[in-house]
Structure 1
Amino acid sequence: MVMIKTPEVVATKQDVVSTQEPEEKKQINKRFLLFKIDVFVLSFVCLQYWINYVDRVGFNNAYVSGMKEDLNMKKDDLNVTLTCFTVGYVVGMLPNNLILLVVPPRLWLSFCTFSWGLLTLGMFKITSFEQACAIRFFQALFESCTFSGTHLILGSWYKEDELPLRSAIFTSSGLIGSIFSGFMQVAIHTRLDGVGNLEGWRWLFIIDFCITIPISIYGLIFFPGVPDHTSSSSKFSMTRYIFTEQELQYARRRLPARDESTKLDWSVIPRVLKRWHWWFFSLVWVLGGENLSFASNSTFALWLQNQNYSLSNRNNFPSGIYAVGIVSTLLSAFYMSCIPKSRHWHVAVFISVILCVVAIMIRANPLNSAVMFTAQYLGGVAYAGQSVFFAWANSVCHDDLQERAVVLASMNMFSGAVNAWWSILFYAASMVPRFERGCYALIATSVSTIIVSIYIRYLQNIELDNKKVTAYIDANDMMVSEGEDEDEEEYEEDNMTLHERDIERSYP
């Protein structure tokens, strides 16, 4: 393929045919536009996911920091509470993604962040296990907008070769929140335990609330939403001062072609069900989500408590798992973005092999501290699957916006639905310190992930071979002026289909 060298500065095309004299064409600096997208789009979703995990992991940290004893929680009460959260997460997943297609994401995501912040504050007043279950359920309803909703938004701003790194940064922000929550709990317990007649774990929820609310306000003011629907006319939005209308037009048309005839109606059901995307991406993330079970069910913190480690160690040592997750996530993004022949399934296979080793190590000698620490930290590589699989689905489903929203939500929804009973069956708190069932389950899901990932790539290759290269012109978005040869070449390059991009990366 002959590569067209992209000029540094691209001229925009007129948006609407006007009877008046045409305005002078303005110039758009592509790099500066991408920088602004990173600053105002990526910053909010990362802050939102960061505090999401601070709130979420904070509950587990509170459990091992005195909440268990104060609420008289027994046996598998922690797992039941986590299941209540998971059920709420599953129930809210698909509705939240569909709402984002109708309600400006700036408004909805800010509202959801504010709502779960209020519920987090309510946690400091709980006096029973049942109250914790109820609040956690409603927290999850609002928090479920974050992960799959953000991937839907990222796919509306970034091209295929830009997605892996942005998805990795977004995923890493949640892991940073997990690390931050652990250290914050230790600091709170040391300095605030007993202040105001409140236990340290109650202060954790108060401080989480105080951090969450400013983030929701920041999103309401500065987050632009998606380029198709920015709600920039709102008096509370700074979007009209951050992006020009021409920049938003270019942000839309620089992405690959998309079928603009599809709508959010009942036709989305047969469209989704007749394609393999929904079936196999949902399946692969059910497996990928359960590959995270050792980390997501706080098995390391439970093991540390069982082995009589100090409170600070129970909160701090699991941070190493998230640190490994951050490093592996960023490395996988580097591989996907910078290596010409890289493929998503390569990373999936690598992760799965490592997790098989983790399961074997824990099953062989779970009481050996060196073995358990090594295995738990190695297990952090499973977090790289979040950015890899969702970026993969974003790219494959880009042609149909409504299908993409359903597929991304379904991936997380079905994973959560399985995890609601999977954690109790294989990773219950009563199974500490050996987690025998969990080890066997991890081997099964890891091997299955390899098989399904390879098959998805096989189906993707067939789809790419059959895809026709068609020009994309949206009359509502742009008008091509005659005689603008340089702009035509830029337009054609920016609207390369997924097939062309795949061939280009295969034969550098």
Structure 2
Amino acid sequence: MEHLSKVEPTGLEDQPPQAGLFKVLARYVPYFRNPQHVLVFKLDCLLLTWTFIAGILKEMDQSATSQAYVSGMKESLNLYGNELINFNTLFSVGYAIGLIPGQLIQTKVRPSIFLPFCEISWGVLVTCIAQAPNAKTIYALRVLLGLFSAVFWPTAVSMIFNWYTPTELAKRIAFFNVSDAAGGMFLSALQAALYTNMNGVYGIAGWQWLFIVSGTITIGQGLLGLVIIPDSPVLTRAIWLTDTEKRLARKRMADFGANTSNMIPTKVVVQKLQKLTFHPMTYFFLAAFALQAWANRANSYFTLYLNLRFSTYQVNVIPIGGYALQILINLGLNALSDWKHWRWQISVAPAFFLGIVLSVLSAWPSDWRVIITFYFLTYATNAGSPSLLAWMAELLKKEPEARSIIVALTVTIVYIGHATIPIRVWRTSDSPRYPIGFPLATAFIFSSIFVQLGMLWWGRRNTQLARYGYDASNVSARLDEEISEITKK
């Protein structure tokens, strides 16, 4: 691992842009006279925007099956059993299998090569679903989709960890995180438009057009990734960054003591795996994040409830308001998290609110308007995840590979839960009341709060982790020896 503290400044990192478009802009816009502003602006416009759009497409593609199910696919393919649950379960199985191998591969292969390959493959498979003749074919495609999809989320989060400082981090993760809500909004609007305007065109149903359009856009986005993805500051070959900006990126991360991802020997990877396997922080974060994710699963079945009372068009349009609420709350709270550095506070507060909302849904009020209101409120309660991720990233700022693997491991556990829990807890036959689902989700979220408070307690008593990484115990031992020697003298 190349330690970023060894970065040698050239003096140009503090100078205004010396050439190109930003040299011209700097004459008229004072903001661009600061080279850090130019670097962050480029990162936001290219890296962050690409991950956001990719996240939208990923959510569209993942949710398209559920959306298509209530928009004609069920009738076209005679899916009158638990096929929808099986589609989601098999996707989760493939996803869980692919998560950790996907991150380990990227200790040997650049993300700028491996991630676009997976994205393009994903897009091709999505378009294939449009012509699937039966449920069994979709089962196979969903497993493969899970495998290729597994690379994206942990890699995108890792890239954000690698390029942004603590005052920038949580709101960028939140911006990326709300891509699923934006994807849900766009998907609802797209499916409504396709159902109205494209249903039957060229003999293709509206729900089939959804897969064709989503998959084709994803292929194009994967091709763009070959140029846009910058790897990490240590490795970057991005053509849209100048050499001075690459040095500045390394210096920025070094200034707050962080290391960024590198290609590392297999022996070092094994050592990292051993250390994170036995480290308490791994399990604090894993439990807190997974329990929260399983609780947030409660709003995944909103469309099935709406389908009982509203038309297909209305079912596609109504959730857009919930997604808009999710975006606003996520961005607002996590901007506050960066501004005040309120990591645990912003992580815990929405979780507590979700616990209250789920408690009401567990009681299942008699008025359907109350039920829809509280269903909507679940969209406002997942804003804590970006701050939880930023909190973990700062505690493990010396261990970039461990961060990526822990995120992948955590998401693996999450998707194992997503693959198994709904089979018994969120069964289609139990909708819309879900007598097991809502009470269990309530227990999950309050358990997550308890674990996060434990993580706070442990972190305050082990501050050396952020300063020295996994070598903290060795450093402490050496310091004790030196103090002992000085005392003896």
TM-score range with shorter-chain normalisation? Answer: 0.7 to 0.9
- Report matched runs for 1:193-342 at 5 Å: 193-230=199-236, 232=237, 239-240=238-239, 242-255=240-253, 256-258=256-258, 264-295=268-299, 297=300, 299-305=301-307, 307-339=308-340, 342=341
1:58 Cα offset (Å)? 1.3
Q: Are the equivalent residues in 2 in contact too, given 1:100–1:108 (CA < 8 A)?
A: yes
Q: Are the equivalent residues in 1 in contact too, given 2:349–2:384 (CA < 8 A)?
A: no
CA distance in 2, matches of 1:44, 1:468: 32
Amino acid at match of 1:120: V
- Report matched runs for 1:322-401 at 5 Å: 322-339=323-340, 342-366=341-365, 368-401=367-400
CA distance in 1, matches of 2:382, 2:228: 29
Question: Does residue 55 of structure 2 align to residue 49 of structure 1?
Answer: yes
* 2:432 aligned residue: 433
* 1:34 aligned residue: 40
1:318 Cα offset (Å)? 2.1
- Against the structure 1 CA distance between its residues 467 and 158, is the aligned structure 2 distance closer, same or farther, given a 3 Å change threshold? closer
Q: Are the equivalent residues in 2 in contact too, given 1:124–1:202 (CA < 8 A)?
A: yes
* 1:191 aligned residue: 197
Show structure 1 runs of 5+ residues with no match. 1-8, 14-26, 233-238, 471-508
Amino acid at match of 2:91: F
Q: Are the equivalent residues in 1 in contact too, given 2:257–2:467 (CA < 8 A)?
A: no
CA distance in 1, matches of 2:443, 2:357: 13
The TM-score, its normalising length taken from structure 2, stands at: 0.85
CA distance in 2, matches of 1:47, 1:102: 26
- Against the structure 1 CA distance between its residues 172 and 467, is the aligned structure 2 distance closer, same or farther, given a 3 Å change threshold? closer
Amino acid at match of 1:346: Q
Q: Are the equivalent residues in 2 in contact too, given 1:148–1:408 (CA < 8 A)?
A: yes
CA distance in 2, matches of 1:119, 1:163: 33
Query: SS of the counterpart of 2:234?
Result: coil
1:465 Cα offset (Å)? 5.9
| Percent of aligned pairs with the same amino acid | 26
1:74 Cα offset (Å)? 2.4
1:463 Cα offset (Å)? 1.9
CA distance in 2, matches of 1:10, 1:441: 57
1:187 Cα offset (Å)? 0.5
CA distance in 2, matches of 1:466, 1:309: 53
- Against the structure 1 CA distance between its residues 469 and 354, is the aligned structure 2 distance closer, same or farther, given a 3 Å change threshold? closer
- Against the structure 1 CA distance between its residues 49 and 10, is the aligned structure 2 distance closer, same or farther, given a 3 Å change threshold? farther
CA distance in 2, matches of 1:465, 1:398: 11
- Against the structure 1 CA distance between its residues 331 and 223, is the aligned structure 2 distance closer, same or farther, given a 3 Å change threshold? same
CA distance in 1, matches of 2:330, 2:11: 32
Amino acid at match of 1:422: I
Q: Are the equivalent residues in 1 in contact too, given 2:304–2:431 (CA < 8 A)?
A: yes
- Report matched runs for 1:132-151 at 5 Å: 132-151=138-157
The TM-score, its normalising length taken from structure 1, stands at: 0.81
**Please, which moves more after superposition, 217-226 or 449-458?**
217-226
1:440 Cα offset (Å)? 0.7
Match of 1:131 among 124, 137, 150: 137
1:313 Cα offset (Å)? 1.3
Give per-residue Cα distances to partners, 1:103-137, cap 9 Å, x unaligned.
12111111111110000110111111111111111
- Against the structure 1 CA distance between its residues 467 and 203, is the aligned structure 2 distance closer, same or farther, given a 3 Å change threshold? closer
CA distance in 1, matches of 2:103, 2:273: 15
CA distance in 2, matches of 1:209, 1:316: 22
Query: SS of the counterpart of 1:184?
Result: helix
CA distance in 1, matches of 2:245, 2:274: 35
Query: SS of the counterpart of 2:151?
Result: coil
**Please, which moves more after superposition, 158-167 or 330-339?**
330-339
- Report matched runs for 1:432-471 at 5 Å: 432-464=431-463
1:10 Cα offset (Å)? 6.3
- Against the structure 1 CA distance between its residues 466 and 212, is the aligned structure 2 distance closer, same or farther, given a 3 Å change threshold? closer
1:90 Cα offset (Å)? 0.6
Q: Are the equivalent residues in 2 in contact too, given 1:112–1:143 (CA < 8 A)?
A: yes
Give per-residue Cα distances to partners, 1:375-430, cap 9 Å, x unaligned.
11110123313322222222221211221111111111111111211122221111
Amino acid at match of 1:290: W
Task: Say what the alpha-carbon RMSD is for the aligned residues.
Answer: 2.2
CA distance in 1, matches of 2:287, 2:186: 32
Q: Are the equivalent residues in 1 in contact too, given 2:398–2:466 (CA < 8 A)?
A: no
Q: Are the equivalent residues in 2 in contact too, given 1:366–1:433 (CA < 8 A)?
A: no
Amino acid at match of 2:269: D
Query: SS of the counterpart of 1:448?
Result: helix
- Against the structure 1 CA distance between its residues 311 and 141, is the aligned structure 2 distance closer, same or farther, given a 3 Å change threshold? same
1:259 Cα offset (Å)? 6.2
* 1:6 aligned residue: none
CA distance in 1, matches of 2:138, 2:423: 18
Amino acid at match of 1:324: L
1:249 Cα offset (Å)? 2.0
- Against the structure 1 CA distance between its residues 365 and 275, is the aligned structure 2 distance closer, same or farther, given a 3 Å change threshold? closer
* 1:180 aligned residue: 186
Q: Which has the higher helix share?
A: 2
Give per-residue Cα distances to partners, 1:454-481, cap 9 Å, x unaligned.
11111111121676589xxxxxxxxxxx
Query: SS of the counterpart of 2:285?
Result: helix
CA distance in 1, matches of 2:293, 2:362: 20
Q: Are the equivalent residues in 1 in contact too, given 2:118–2:148 (CA < 8 A)?
A: yes
Question: Does residue 89 of structure 2 align to residue 90 of structure 1?
Answer: no
How many residue pairs match? The answer is 436
CA distance in 2, matches of 1:466, 1:269: 16
CA distance in 2, matches of 1:146, 1:368: 41
Q: Are the equivalent residues in 2 in contact too, given 1:367–1:434 (CA < 8 A)?
A: no
Query: SS of the counterpart of 2:165?
Result: coil
CA distance in 2, matches of 1:248, 1:349: 36
CA distance in 2, matches of 1:212, 1:467: 38
Show structure 2 runs of 5+ residues with no match. 1-9, 15-32, 470-489
Amino acid at match of 1:334: A
- Against the structure 1 CA distance between its residues 67 and 367, is the aligned structure 2 distance closer, same or farther, given a 3 Å change threshold? farther
Amino acid at match of 2:99: M
Q: Are the equivalent residues in 2 in contact too, given 1:168–1:387 (CA < 8 A)?
A: yes
CA distance in 2, matches of 1:213, 1:40: 18
* 2:3 aligned residue: none
Question: Does residue 120 of structure 2 align to residue 110 of structure 1?
Answer: no
- Against the structure 1 CA distance between its residues 10 and 383, is the aligned structure 2 distance closer, same or farther, given a 3 Å change threshold? farther
